[in-house]
Amino acid sequence: MTTETATTDPDPGEPDGTVPARCQQREPAKTKEEDMRSRFARIMAAVLLFGMIPLLPASAPPASAEPVTLNYANFPPAPTFPCVQMERWKTEVEQQTGGKVKINTFPGGTLLGAKEMMDGVIAGQAEIGCLSMAYQPGRFVVTNATSLPLGIPNARVGSRVLLDLYEKYQPEAFSQVKVITMFTTAPTNIMSKVPVRSLDDLKGLDLRASGGAARILAAWGANPVGMPMPATVEALQKGVVKGLYSSLEVMKDFKFAETCRYATVTDTVIYPFAVVMNMAAWKALPADVQKVIDDLKVEQAEWTGNYMDGHVKEAVQWSKATYQVEFIELSDAQKSEWNALLNPIVEQYLQETSAKGLPAQAIVDDIRDLITRYSR
């Protein structure tokens, strides 16, 4: 009988061919003293590490974003009301945006001139510009309707009427810009070197005027001469014109009281203004900055109108006290006679504007309704 001899297979080892752990030589166990020293060393290393953390340089906070810089162009001299409102708006925007916006102002045509203003803003020569729409009567057909002889009594009412009219009709003339606000002058009056007490005194008299005001002078028999307001100072001195037709604050702001010692009170029409912004610059602004600017639109129109009306009263008193300017008041009969000559101007506007496909009668009716609304 054959007896089988039992055999033991060798340990196949680990898959990577290393020796099984049970076959590896074990290191002698650490003594209790060595274990304690090792634990102590680890504790001390942790203490040192955490103790040094406050000494490590902290991460630098993210750099605050630089403010957006906007250039605001204006054409009259700095002391005049369009530039006074510009500085007020600048201050409000900078404060209400918490310094996110910085506005550089350029009065006196130092960046853009009066007739270049709209196209200069569209082209990006200035991010913001203030323009007188009367200088381009054929371009701003809807908003220039406020310069018709419709009875706007003061600058506050005129400013609110103008802005509401724009908001309702959204004229194509402003489609390439963002409208920041709109406002008007106070009603126009005749300032002259010679007294104007009747229509006969106006016949052929050379007076500076533009836009709708020029049409009014022509209807009264005067000779309207178109030029920017700043150029009128020299024109008066050289005798190119004998006076001007504008709102009375210019008697002080441009010192016209020095040469025009007479003012005939007609309180007939206003000059409309607009403040516009380059569309690309507007779209690049953060949403919260856009909201601040939008929220200021009506407030700025109201503020400017109130400022203008108060400034006119101040200028009248200053002209009387400083240069003894005579303010000539028309009788009720004269007012009726002068106003009757202006009816064809409104009729002409209705015909010409309707021919362009615009709702001329609705525009005029809206202006009259808004005058009533804001005069209450």
pLDDT (tens digit per residue) in 204-245: 999 999 888 999 999 999 999 999 888 999 999 999 999 999
Write phi, then psi, for 117 (nearest 5 degrees).
-60, -55
The answer to whether residue 35 sits within a structural domain is no
Domain ranges, residue 84 = 68-185+270-319+358-374
The answer to whether residue 205 sits within a structural domain is no
Q: Render 1-33 in DSSP notation, one character per residue.
A: -PPPPP--PPP---TTSPPPGGGSPPPPPPPHH
**Mean per-residue pLDDT, 316-321:** 98
Asked whether residue 257 carries a pLDDT value surpassing 80, the answer given is yes
User: What percent of the chain has a predicted confidence (pLDDT) above 70?
Assistant: 83
H or E element in which residue 323 lies: helix 297-323
Distances 333 to 265, 324, 340 between C-alpha atoms, Å: 14, 27, 11
The answer to whether residue 49 sits within a structural domain is no
Number of domains the chain is built from: 1
**Mean per-residue pLDDT, 13-19:** 36
SS3 51: helix
Contact 114, 227 (CB under 8 A): no
The answer to whether residue 250 sits within a structural domain is no
| pLDDT level of residue 56 (50, 70, 90 thresholds) | very low
Residue closest to 138 by CA, chosen among 215, 69, 219: 215
| pLDDT level of residue 135 (50, 70, 90 thresholds) | confident
| pLDDT level of residue 259 (50, 70, 90 thresholds) | very high
Distances 332 to 164, 192, 266, 304, 336 between C-alpha atoms, Å: 31, 22, 11, 30, 6
| pLDDT level of residue 112 (50, 70, 90 thresholds) | very high
The answer to whether residue 135 sits within a structural domain is yes
- Strand duo 262-265 + 326-329: pairing: parallel
- How does the average pLDDT of the chain come out, rounded? 88
Q: At what angle do helices 343-355 and 212-220 cross, to 10 degrees?
A: 140
Asked whether residue 117 carries a pLDDT value surpassing 90, the answer given is yes
| pLDDT level of residue 137 (50, 70, 90 thresholds) | confident
CATH code of the domain in which 149 resides: 3.40.190.170
The answer to whether residue 259 sits within a structural domain is no
| pLDDT level of residue 43 (50, 70, 90 thresholds) | very low
- Assigned token pair, 138: 């054929």
In this structure, of 212-216, 272-276, 301-305, the range with the lowest mean pLDDT score is: 212-216
Contact 224, 291 (CB under 8 A): no
Asked whether residue 96 carries a pLDDT value surpassing 60, the answer given is yes
The answer to whether residue 118 sits within a structural domain is yes
Contact 131, 117 (CB under 8 A): yes
- Give me the residues paired with residue 206 across strands: 223
* Cβ partners under 8 Å of residue 58, min gap 6: none
Asked whether residue 324 carries a pLDDT value surpassing 50, the answer given is yes
The answer to whether residue 26 sits within a structural domain is no
Asked whether residue 288 carries a pLDDT value surpassing 60, the answer given is yes
Asked whether residue 262 carries a pLDDT value surpassing 50, the answer given is yes
pLDDT in the model for residue 36: 53
Q: Render 61-95 in DSSP notation, one character per residue.
A: PPPPPPPEEEEEE--S-TTSHHHHHHHHHHHHHHH
The model's pLDDT over 1-15, given as tens digits with 9 standing for 90+, comes to 433 333 333 333 333
